[in-house]
Chains A and B, each alone.
Chain A
């Protein structure tokens, strides 16, 4: 379980998250929903450690405080993030971008190329998102949806115990969303993977997740099981 306590985040001039507290249960899928600009990506940034809160804390069951560099690194090695803007290296082929997901398992000064074992793992991950046939295409020659799936594959290849996805299905075909969703569900059940997905499509979010955290202006406006998320909650979170 990951616990956020009183987390406050500033970005530039603005306070983006205000004393936010929430719990993310292990071995389940949590959806973070809310209108654009409410702080969903910021929340994921706090969860993967790229954004440091000005106050409050993030604690992970069974781990020392995140402020300790060693435990932060250990936590990050078990984490994988799918970024909203994909964060791919444009001039590298899709497969090499997926291999970047394994960069923490290689010595930075090793002159050797990626091992065959790592290459096959990357190929398997690309296959899981239905992109094996585009493995050698440069990332900047891919469509938006394809780039997004490369980002998903780069996260999956890590076999993470915590998977963070920032709108990972925003421009992916519904049929494929169902397929990837099934695969995530299976990994949650089989390996106890913990998943946090930011999603703006509430139907997909409810269908896929166990728990929903709804944000309004940097504060939690809904925190409960997906099955209890009703029209009243929907109005509270998505109305103008």
Chain B
């Protein structure tokens, strides 16, 4: 009896302790967020005085959008699209082995931290900086863009792939092992069917992201629609720039819908 009472006291005390701790965490988080707002002048009304008129002027200069040169936009659009596809595929292919090494329990333990560090480095360096680096290395055009997307995507996808692998259920694989199936067989018959839909899901999602990223890469010399926009802005052709931005918006939306549709189908097909 006595032992039981002590246990319950301990359980209640533990509950209180955890409630106090999460309360303190919430207060601390709120303080940090507020400090960030103040520090960045985001709460300073003086900074906003001239903003509205400027924005209105810019907007006035940019309407109506000017689609006159639409014929010459096909190639840059295609460049951007191709850049995003190739960059995603290369990034995904590199991310598979790196993600496997970075996942707990699927590679040699001593390689896990180096792999994580490499992935972390790849994705900590912003895509634009990768773009500048590769433009310097291989010259202008979509090629440096492809490498920039691939490097950054490897860092991102490798992390996701590793998490997918870690969340995989090992039990079916063990069942196969107990039936004399080789490790390659476990990979094929248990690991692959479990992770494949999720792998495709995050990769398609990354592709959608890369279409947008490919556009910004155009601004540092990687060609494509982004470069067209920069050129139009540089020449104060705001109406052409706004037309290009609308085209880009349509492209990104269309790809987003296509990607979302594919992902839903992918997750459902396996299910039926």
Where the two chains meet, the residues of A that have a C-beta atom closer than 8 Å to any C-beta of B are 48-50, 73-77, 79-81, 83, 85-93, 96, 100-101, 103-104, 106, 108-109, 136, 138, 154, 158
Q: Among the interface residues B171, B189, B194, which one has the most CB atoms of the partner chain A within 10 A?
A: B189
Say whether, besides A104-B185, A108-B182, A87 and B271 are in contact (CB < 8 Å): no
Interface: B20 (CB within 8 A): no
B163-190 interface mask toward A, CB cutoff 8 Å, 1 = contact, 0 = none?
0000001011011111111101101111
Interface: B193 (CB within 8 A): yes
Residues of chain A lying within 8 A (CB to CB) of residue B31: none
- CB atoms of A50 and B185 under 8 A apart: no
* Chain B nearest Cβ from A81, distance in angstroms: 5
Say whether, besides A48-B178, A50-B174, A50-B177, A103 and B197 are in contact (CB < 8 Å): no
Residues of chain B lying within 8 A (CB to CB) of residue A79: 178-180
Say whether, besides A91-B193, A138-B271, A104 and B172 are in contact (CB < 8 Å): no
Residues of chain B lying within 8 A (CB to CB) of residue A89: 169, 172, 190, 193-194
Our pick among A48, A88, A93, A109 for the contact of B172 (Cβ within 8 Å) is: A88
* Chain B nearest Cβ from A9, distance in angstroms: 16
* Chain B nearest Cβ from A177, distance in angstroms: 22
- CB atoms of B193 and A73 under 8 A apart: no
- CB atoms of B179 and A87 under 8 A apart: no
- CB atoms of B189 and A81 under 8 A apart: no
A84 to B, closest residue via Cβ:
B171
- CB atoms of B184 and A103 under 8 A apart: no
- CB atoms of B179 and A104 under 8 A apart: yes
Residues of chain A lying within 8 A (CB to CB) of residue B179: 76-77, 79-81, 101, 103-104, 158
- CB atoms of B188 and A92 under 8 A apart: no
Interface size (B, Cβ < 8 Å)? 24
- CB atoms of B190 and A73 under 8 A apart: no
- CB atoms of B182 and A87 under 8 A apart: no
Our pick among B169, B184, B189 for the contact of A100 (Cβ within 8 Å) is: B189
Residues of chain B lying within 8 A (CB to CB) of residue A154: 175
Q: Among the interface residues B171, B180, B187, B271, which one has the most CB atoms of the partner chain A within 10 A?
A: B180
Bound together, the chains give a CA A112 to CA B128 distance in angstroms of: 43
* Chain A nearest Cβ from B194, distance in angstroms: 6
Our pick among B174, B185, B272 for the contact of A103 (Cβ within 8 Å) is: B185
Residues of chain A lying within 8 A (CB to CB) of residue B185: 103-104, 106, 108
Interface: B270 (CB within 8 A): yes
Residues of chain B lying within 8 A (CB to CB) of residue A90: 169
* Chain B nearest Cβ from A141, distance in angstroms: 8
* Chain B nearest Cβ from A42, distance in angstroms: 14
Residues of chain A lying within 8 A (CB to CB) of residue B169: 87, 89-90
- CB atoms of B187 and A76 under 8 A apart: no
A141 to B, closest residue via Cβ:
B271
- CB atoms of B187 and A92 under 8 A apart: no
A-B residue pairs in contact (CB < 8 Å), sample of 24: A48-B178, A74-B180, A76-B177, A79-B178, A79-B179, A80-B179, A87-B171, A87-B172, A89-B169, A89-B172, A89-B193, A91-B193, A91-B194, A91-B197, A91-B270, A100-B172, A100-B175, A104-B180, A108-B185, A108-B188, A108-B189, A109-B184, A136-B272, A154-B175
Say whether, besides A79-B179, A158-B179, A92 and B193 are in contact (CB < 8 Å): yes
Bound together, the chains give a CA A85 to CA B172 distance in angstroms of: 10
Other A-B contacts than A83-B175, A91-B193, A106-B185, 14 sampled, CB-CB below 8 A, are A50-B174, A77-B179, A81-B179, A92-B193, A100-B176, A103-B176, A104-B176, A104-B179, A104-B180, A104-B185, A108-B181, A108-B182, A136-B272, A138-B272
Residues of chain A lying within 8 A (CB to CB) of residue B184: 108-109
Say whether, besides A89-B172, A91-B271, A136-B272, A49 and B197 are in contact (CB < 8 Å): no
B194 to A, closest residue via Cβ:
A89
Say whether, besides A79-B179, A103-B176, A85 and B171 are in contact (CB < 8 Å): yes
B196 to A, closest residue via Cβ:
A91
* Chain A nearest Cβ from B247, distance in angstroms: 39
- CB atoms of B178 and A49 under 8 A apart: yes
A48 to B, closest residue via Cβ:
B178
Which B77-114 residues have a C-beta within 8 angstroms of A? none
* Chain B nearest Cβ from A70, distance in angstroms: 11
Residues of chain A lying within 8 A (CB to CB) of residue B175: 81, 83, 87, 100, 154
* Chain B nearest Cβ from A179, distance in angstroms: 24
* Chain B nearest Cβ from A197, distance in angstroms: 16
